[in-house]
Amino acid sequence: MRITIIGSGYVGLALARHWRREGQHQISLTTTRAARLESLHGQADRVLLTRADDPDQLRQALEGAEVAVFCQAPRGDRLVDPGVYRTTYCDPFVALQGLLQALPALSQIVYAGSGSLYGDTGGAWVDEDTPPQPRDGHGEVLLEAEQLLSACRSPQRRVCVLRFGALYGPGRDLLRRLTPLAGTTRAGGGQEHCGWLHRDDAVGALAAAVQQGWDQTVNVVDDEPCTVAMLMARLADATGLEPVTWRPHEPDAAARPDRRVSNRRLHQLGYRLQHPRVVFPRLVALDDALLGAVSARAAASGRRRMNHNLHHHDDAVQRFLNALQPGTYVRPHRHRRETPGAGFECFVVLQGSIGLLVLDAAGLVIHSQRLQAGGPVHGVELAEDQFHTLVALSPDAVLLELKQGPYRPTEDKDFLASFPAEGTPAAAAQERCWRALFEGDGR
């Protein structure tokens, strides 16, 4: 089959690669940027520099094609310009209407549209028979584009409109996009529903529409239109990040439109989603954002330090971030367990610089070690039954600590009684003395 894909952006290029791997079709691919031509060679049988709103260039791209797949999208920061939306989505279909008689082989047109034209329904379900109610100029342009394309339908020519949900996938990682919201306080309750779609299912639905000759409008979204609050709670559960705090009685000026888009027709057509719901990998990224957030909480704490647990208290291995700010006092202690050797503790500095002091039972320092993210010593493993303390030698110092679990608060630490308790003037003076031991050590 001879197929022309108009637009080599996020979806168009992935679709071309999909069909190229199958090797069953002759694929033409267009781009509006001359700088991309070289990189696109090899992604299709033919690559053309084409402005789809230019009738001559569009005719050249579609000449001899049996199927046209329109995957055009605005570029860069022009995404928010309604005028660019019209040039991108409407003008190509105006040009196409004037070319149809010159394109006798063209038997199907497939368009990658958007479900955003449904507008805000207050959380009510919508399907393909629901009259669109665009809430802004962008939605009005998208609706007009569909109407222009529908006028291209004839007994000899099928027209399929796929209304996509919000796209995510490789290069648009949802975990990375949502992580900055973790631990924030947000106005509203996050009860607006959102419909997502993985890029692989956008490609799969387009391919199915061509293979099966769809001639209708189809919503292509995942099976679960979850709320923003549900999505963020799922993120926190999977990654261990701080949940969002919602203020339901405070109006949210930036609230998303609330609609639940049904994909029943998609299922009736026999398409089965590869990604029926958003799933976050169960991982915690120990990135700068997390280290910065824990450090900020340590700075705001009266103790000048803060833990961020990666474990549950009953886990066999305790693992957590420990952020320390200069001035924090860690009372000397050791760890003992019933199983010999299980009282070890491992420290690895991820950010900043920490001073480790090992003491004997009389409270005398028998070893000092600077640990810092830039080396030369990044961390140590300390055997059980060793009295020790830590001092922060730089602001925002963060350790990754590992030790044997489960955690029992009353049994976890054996303190050296000769040292003052936390929060006392004597403790603050003692911390300053320990920190002074590392001054002038050449680092």
Q: pLDDT digit of tens for each residue in the chain (443 aa)?
A: 999 999 999 999 999 999 999 998 999 999 999 999 999 999 999 999 999 999 999 999 999 999 999 999 876 544 557 788 889 999 999 999 999 999 999 999 999 999 999 999 999 999 999 999 998 888 899 999 999 999 999 999 999 999 999 999 999 999 888 988 888 999 999 999 999 999 999 999 999 999 999 999 999 999 999 999 999 999 998 887 889 999 999 988 777 899 999 999 999 999 999 999 999 988 888 889 889 989 999 999 999 999 998 888 888 899 999 999 999 999 999 988 777 777 899 999 999 999 999 999 999 999 999 999 988 999 999 998 999 999 999 999 999 999 988 877 766 788 999 999 999 999 999 999 999 999 877 55
Options 2.60.120.10, 3.40.50.720, 3.40.50.10490, 2.30.130.10; which CATH number does 288-436 get? 2.60.120.10
Instruction: For helices 199-212 and 10-22, give the axis angle rounded to 10 degrees.
Output: 60
What architecture is domain 2-169+191-223+256-268? 3-Layer(aba) Sandwich (3.40)
Residue 240: count other Cβ atoms within 10 Å of its Cβ.
19
The domains of the chain are located at 2-169+191-223+256-268, 288-436
CA angle 256, 260, 262 (to 5 degrees): 145
Residue 108: which of 157, 58, 162, 163 has the closest Cα?
157
Contacts of 26 (CB under 8 A, 6+ apart): 1, 2, 3, 45
Domain 2-169+191-223+256-268 matches domain 288-436 at the CATH topology level: no
Cα separation, 54 vs 61, whole angstroms: 11
